Amino acid sequence: MQSMTGTVITVAPTGAENSKTDVPALPVTLDELVLTAKECEALGASIIHVHIRDADARPTLDPGRLRDTVAGLRESTDLIVQLSSGGAVTDPESDRLAVLDAGPEMASCTMGTVNFGDGVFMNRWEFIVELHTRMQERGIVPEYEIFDLGQLATLQRLLGKHGLPAGGHVHVDLVMGVPGGMPGTTAALVACEQAIRDLPAGTTFSATGIGRSTIPVMLASLSAGGHLRVGMEDTVTYAKGQSVDSNMQLVARAAGFAELAQRSPLTTREARALLGVPTR
């Protein structure tokens, strides 16, 4: 089991899949995102996992908007800014690689191809290697996204062939309950936790459960020494028949669960130290 430190809470406020029309509380403008970020930081979040939208609230990887987003979040918060290199399932590899040009402190890096609802989230080996090595060169700390157990073996292969990430610390995020990926269950999380033991000593993990698996995954992760990711990218239902009001509601619940587990939310400074992300 991982050593029980406090809890890193990541907020994933927007994602690329939910539409503003269906979910009006989704933050899609830079102002909405920055306000959400500030409030979530005050409630205990230390990382923000960012997908952005265009003027029509559609997912985009527009380079100028990405740069403005990184600057806006840095100006107003001390959150670790983690850009998604996953984008939407329709985004080409070249645009996904170009996300790194916006200069985030962290970026996601998915460890394999997975069916993603009706789509396919493509992550070829050569693309993974390109993302990993570019991040190494630029000092961007990756969060390795794991949608299925075998992707942890891919990560082991990646690190064995291409070396440790920038900062030297390995951090993975288990994305559980995607239709096409591993289920959001305690059994699946425990299987991943066992496989993480084969990764470099000190590797940390967070977990998120899509949809209704959010609560079981949170509880399982806390009890296994893992960290938490919550947000409207992953969950828009708070309880049966009750829509999520805001990302703050989800972060507040995660912080409450972390307190209950006697693993209080880490500050941004503490999270930076744990994950090898330089302080600003």
Residues within the interface to ligand KMH (CB under 6 A): 16, 84-86, 88-89, 108, 110, 116, 121, 145
Work out whether the CA dihedral 144, 148, 152, 153 comes out positive or negative. negative
Cβ closest to Zn ion, residue 121 vs residue 225: 121
Query: Which of the ranges 76-84, 87-95, 208-216, 269-277 carries the binding residues for Zn ion, by CB under 5 A?
Result: 76-84
Site for Zn ion in 82-121 (CB under 5 A): 84
- Judged by DSSP in three states, 217 sits in helix
| Element (DSSP H or E) covering residue 171 | strand 171-176
* Nearest to 229, CA basis, from 279, 187, 171: 171
Cβ closest to ligand KMH, residue 225 vs residue 247: 247
Cβ closest to ligand KMH, residue 88 vs residue 224: 88
Cβ closest to ligand KMH, residue 88 vs residue 248: 88
Return d(Cα 33, Cα 59) in angstroms, integer. Answer: 14
DSSP 231: S
Does 235 participate in binding Zn ion (rule CB under 5 A)? Answer: no
CB-based closest residue to ligand KMH = 86
Q: Which residue has the tokens 């995607």?
A: 178
> From the CB of 3, what's the least distance to ligand KMH, in Å?
27
> From the CB of 110, what's the least distance to Zn ion, in Å?
9
Return d(Cα 78, Cα 108) in angstroms, integer. Answer: 19
From Zn ion, ligand KMH, none, interface partner of 251 (C-beta below 5 to 8 A by class): none
**If you count them, how many residues does the chain have?**
280
Q: Which residue has the tokens 């805001």?
A: 246
Half-sphere exposure of 272 (CA within 13 A, CB side): 13
Query: Which of the ranges 38-46, 80-88, 119-127, 146-154 carries the binding residues for Zn ion, by CB under 5 A?
Result: 80-88
Cβ closest to Zn ion, residue 178 vs residue 196: 178
